[in-house]
Structure 1
Amino acid sequence: MNDHLIILIRSFSAFIILMVIARALGKQTLSNMNFHDFVTAVILGAIAANFAFNEKIEVAHLLIALSVFTITSYILSKLFLKFRKFKMWTEGTPTVLIEGGVILEENMKKII
């Protein structure tokens, strides 16, 4: 088969698989993404991109890698909902920079 056609098929397959995983993990907009969601999206995208362009990667290996990250992400999401302290420990807490129209300079020093 032509190399270009193989890459086309593998790319399309990776896209479809990522769409299914994204649907399974739930809808999340970029503005509502937390650190965990961002890392998961980057990793899943990198795995899919490698599959699309690296013909040495087998489909079974792709499915195993995507499954591990999908299941891990799903479990972490459930743990974050159930254990608020676990989420705060892994993601940290937000720092208030402006309160009542006043810039909190002490908090500004914390983020630098």
Structure 2
Amino acid sequence: MWEIELTDQASEWLLSLDQKDRTAIAGSIDLLEQLGPNLGRPAVESVKSSRHHNMKELRSVGGNLRALFCFDPRRTAIVLLGGDKTNDWVGWYDRNIPLADDLYDEYLGEIRKEGLI
């Protein structure tokens, strides 16, 4: 099993979802926990235009929900944020990848301060 952490933004997003959507993305998070970096398409896809080469998107089972995540240097998956890209296929990435980059930078700074990396 792989360790999964969520930012406050990711947790708030998950809690805002209805039961059907929460179950769909939770299923993908469960797969990520089981398979870690070995989880591939169709559940995970690399993200272009991120400052972080290891930024990926986690796709919900049978839907348009996406969660952006990275494996940190400890090989813990950090789910940064999520959203629904329905009817906004390009714009969703344009808005959210920079936010996820900033969240990941902040997260890395925090675990450095704590001496975890």
Q: Provide the TM-score with structure 2 as the length reference.
A: 0.33
Greater relative contact order, per chain length (Cα 8 Å cut-off, separation 6+): 2
Greater share of helix residues, 1 or 2?
Answer: 1
The structure in which a higher percent of residues are strand is 2
